[in-house]
Structure 1
Amino acid sequence: MKMKTLVTGMALAAIAASATAQVVGKMEDQIRWRQSAYHTMAWSMARIKANVEGTFNKEQVIEAANVIQAIANSKMGALYQPGSDKGKGWKETRLKSEFFGSPELGKIAQNFGQQANEMAKVASTGDAAAVKAQFGKLGEACKACHDKFRKDED
């Protein structure tokens, strides 16, 4: 019985340590990192858009889609610590306080991840029409979060 209690205690301690290990840096750093990630995704979205609206270059689309997929799957949620709706990274954060505790957040984030993964998959086919269709779905997934949790710039 003591061994079972010891193993359970060690497991709980490991879980607690891993959860706290995800929080790295000062609040300002966390805001700056997530702002940088979103700017990188915006640049990548612009690259895809330029390809679907202009001359299609499969390699450029794959590169951009892979960047978006990597960020979407990077566990950036650790950069949204309570209180990070206030403060400054590179500029004032635009995160709305409603982000914290929102029952819709998980669904919105999951959809974005799925759409980003699908974008990378579709990009690899080189099918310009399919890329354009998936780009629209990915854009809608981005917009769902923006509409709900991002303040307009002043």
Structure 2
Amino acid sequence: MTLLTRIGAACALTVTIAAGVAYAQSDVIKERQDGFQAIRKQLGAVKATVEGGGPADAVVAPAEAMIAYAERIPSLFPAGSDSGDTKALATVWTDRAGFEAAARNFRQAAQELADTGRSGDMDAVAAAFGDVGKACGACHNDYRGK
């Protein structure tokens, strides 16, 4: 194999690897964006239940969907997924412990929402829904750009 052939092969391999990384990065960005859009819909369903006065147990399924997604949030922000079509701030990666704590807080708030939904107490559901909103907002303030 001549030197020129080796250089060409190395360049082709580099381009192939880079394309694979870029594709994987765009996949994870799309996956997390799709997930957050699904959460937005779940929040809308809970809001409609709260504003409509119940029934309280109607918030359980949306809350459980939020719980499941909250558990995945940190894994959807791997190193290297900070560029491209994303609003994630650098603090997601530079303050990883804080970011993961924010995801846990969201999960905990969603769990409380599910639990209060099972209780049948609409006042408690409304308060828990407010806490979910606060958990979302706290994370967005520190880790999401405008």
TM-score range (shorter-chain normalised) is 0.7 to 0.9
Q: Deviations for 1:33-78, whole angstroms, at most 9, x for unmatched residues?
A: 11111111111011111111124133431221111112112x3322
For the pair 1:97 / 2:62, whether they are aligned, the reply is no
In structure 1, the partner of 2:67 is: 69
2:108 equivalent to 1:108: no
* Map 1:71-150 → 2, pairs under 5 A: 71-73=69-71, 75-87=72-84, 92-102=85-95, 103-150=97-144
2:33 to 32, 35, 49: 35
TM-score (normalised: structure 2): 0.77
**CA radius of gyration, larger in:** 2
Match of 1:17 in 2: none
- State the aligned residue count: 123
Aligned residues: percent identity?
A: 33
Going by fraction, where is helix more abundant, 1 or 2? Answer: 2
Q: 1:40 and 1:65 mapped to 2: Cα distance?
A: 12
Specify the code of the residue in structure 2 equivalent to 1:112. F
Distance 2:44 2:133 in 1: 11
Question: Could you say what the CA RMSD is over the residues aligned between the two structures, in angstroms?
Answer: 1.6
Of the structure 1 ranges 131-140 and 61-70, higher mean CA displacement relative to structure 2 is found in 61-70
Taking the aligned partners of 1:70 and 1:45, their CA distance within structure 2 comes to 14
TM-score by length of 1: 0.73
Q: Any unmatched runs of 5+ in structure 1?
A: 1-24
